[in-house]
Amino acid sequence: MNAPHPQKVAGIDAAVPAPAHTAAPAATGTAPVPAPHPPGALLQDRLAGWVSDLTTLHELTERLARTDNLNDALQELLRAGAALVGARRGLVVLEPADERGPDTTIGLGLGRADLGHIETVPRSATSFGRILDGLPGGDHEITEPDLFAGDGLDPRHREVAARLGYAASYALPLSADAGGRLGAAVWLYDEPAEPVERQRHLIGLYARYAAEHLARLLEVERTRACMATIAEELLPSRLPRVAGVQLAARHRTGPRGGGDWYDALPLPDAALGLAVGAVTGSGPSAVAAMGRLRASLRAYAVMEGEDPVAVLSDLELLLRLTEPARSATALFAYCEPALRKITLAGAGHCPPLLVGQRRTEFAETSVSAPLGMLACWEAPSVELQADPGETVLLYTDGLLHRTGDPVDRAFARLHAAAAGVPRSLRHDPDALVDHVLRTVLPDGLDAVDSEEDVVLLAARFE
């Protein structure tokens, strides 16, 4: 009769059941003669085993398919593989053969320090190193059922294995049809052991599917990183130094890249131009449109920056003629630091916030539709007078949308966050924008993937 099948894995727990391949204790005395099987019982047992294996494999691949980022997929691969081969711990090393990254190592049941210890072992002495470096025997599974049985184990590997308490390992290459080798996965056993043939078959099927899924997520991750890099490169690499004013900015973009932007540029007569804006849409087209719009505004600001209405009027005409299917919001402020005077105009944009020792209030700005949505633009500019030590905070509506609150509540939350900035931090615009960002978007909401970009630009007048 076949060996009993392991319990079907309906959900993966951190504590994996004991390996099914562990040998049963030797029987003492005379073993009883088993009763003969009824006709067809052996076939039924085999069919039941196959159905159980296929059901388990189906559930595990479904769980993997639901992962939508690389880190979660690698963690799920380790958990599912541990259940299939009967191991308790493992690690996966992602190191694509095309050398385009990202390279990472993730462990299951292994802390950061444990992974550090393993990385001190010479790569050629580890199973994943032989796979990744294409050494002999590294093009297929590598089974090490008893690491301490012989004398051929690298001394450093022997020391690390003894310290971490593993005595056997089973490794598989992760290779996709299109992307080639992606990395290697290794599962570690506390006692001398190795997966049986049925377990090897199941983990082999699962690993082939997992590699294709990882290859797709890897391309998504690379695209996200590329879009984020392009978006950041289109924004100021550094903020200018202008006498009488201190500047700070924060920018958070979504995984597809968005159209929110900011700018700060020195202007003639010791003036300073500040701008924030947002282009509709997301992805490469929105990022490209954002770059064109920001570059155009810089040109208009140099020529006629003392008149913000003229700057935005020119920008409105440009957008309407060159990209009639797109709209955008923008706010441009002409600042005279020596006088602490700000002249600004906005097109469909959120009003700036004045933050000082004695007041925290939204500036009263003229109401205007977004750029690209007007036949003519006549909203006048407004003038603000900042007191010494006050900060003008410009932002995009993505900050409000990421809260998930209605607009009026989001504005109230922003006002409360600015009003609650400790007095000891108000002299530092960097500390001020960090406090506002963490307060308006707590619990990591400012860093999570979102379709909404966030821009904060602060100018503190001395």
Segment holding 289, helix H or strand E: helix 284-304
Q: Are 240 and 213 in the same domain?
A: no
Render each residue's pLDDT in the chain as its tens digit; 462 residues: 344 444 433 333 434 344 443 334 444 445 555 556 565 777 777 777 777 888 889 999 999 999 988 999 999 999 999 999 999 999 999 999 998 889 999 999 999 999 999 999 999 999 999 999 989 888 889 999 999 998 889 999 999 999 999 999 999 999 998 778 999 999 999 999 999 999 999 999 999 999 999 999 999 888 878 877 777 778 888 899 999 999 999 998 876 667 899 999 999 999 999 999 999 887 788 888 888 999 999 999 999 999 999 999 899 888 888 888 888 999 999 999 999 999 999 988 999 999 998 899 999 887 788 888 765 556 688 999 999 999 999 999 999 999 999 999 999 999 999 999 998 899 999 999 999 999 999 987 777 777 788 999 999 999
Confirm whether 7 is domain-assigned.
no
Name residue, tokens 């409105």. 316
The angle subtended at Cα 160 by Cα 154 and Cα 164, nearest 5°, is 145
Check which CATH number belongs to the domain holding 332 and give it: 3.60.40.10
Q: Are 324 and 455 in the same domain?
A: yes
The angle subtended at Cα 121 by Cα 117 and Cα 122, nearest 5°, is 155
* Domain region containing 76: 47-226
User: For residue 159, what are the CA distances in angstroms to 84, 115, 118, 299?
Assistant: 28, 14, 10, 65
Q: Are 2 and 45 spatial neighbours (Cβ–Cβ below 8 Å)?
A: yes
Confirm whether 263 is domain-assigned.
yes
Domain end marker among 178, 202, 226: 226
Distance separating alpha carbons of residues 110 and 408, to the nearest angstrom: 47
One-character DSSP codes across 370-430: PBTS-SS--PPPEEEEPPTT-EEEEE-THHHHTT-S-HHHHHHHHHHHHHTS-GGGTT-HH
Segment holding 168, helix H or strand E: strand 168-176
User: For residue 408, what are the CA distances in angstroms to 349, 411, 412?
Assistant: 15, 5, 6
Domain end marker among 160, 192, 226: 226
User: For residue 200, what are the CA distances in angstroms to 20, 69, 83, 145, 170?
Assistant: 12, 27, 12, 13, 10
CB proximity list for 445: less than 8 A, separation 6 or greater: 402, 403
Q: Are 203 and 326 in the same domain?
A: no
* Residue among 188, 184, 113 nearest 147 (CA): 188
Domain end marker among 169, 200, 226: 226
Half-sphere exposure of 54 (CA within 13 A, CB side): 6
Which pair of structure tokens corresponds to residue 320?
Answer: 């309407």
User: In the 3-class helix/strand/coil scheme, how is 215-240 assigned residue by residue?
Assistant: HHHHHHHHHHHHHHHHHHHCCCCCCC
Environment class of 414 (CB within 10 Å of its CB; exposed 0-12, middle 13-18, buried 19+): buried
Distance separating alpha carbons of residues 106 and 70, to the nearest angstrom: 11
Confirm whether 14 is domain-assigned.
no
Q: Are 212 and 66 in the same domain?
A: yes
Distance separating alpha carbons of residues 353 and 360, to the nearest angstrom: 7
Confirm whether 21 is domain-assigned.
no
User: For residue 68, what are the CA distances in angstroms to 72, 74, 216, 395?
Assistant: 7, 11, 10, 30
For the chain, how many structural domains are there in total?
Answer: 2
Q: Are 220 and 363 in the same domain?
A: no
Q: Are 136 and 89 in the same domain?
A: yes
Q: Are 158 and 246 in the same domain?
A: no
Q: At what angle do helices 155-164 and 112-119 cross, to 10 degrees?
A: 160
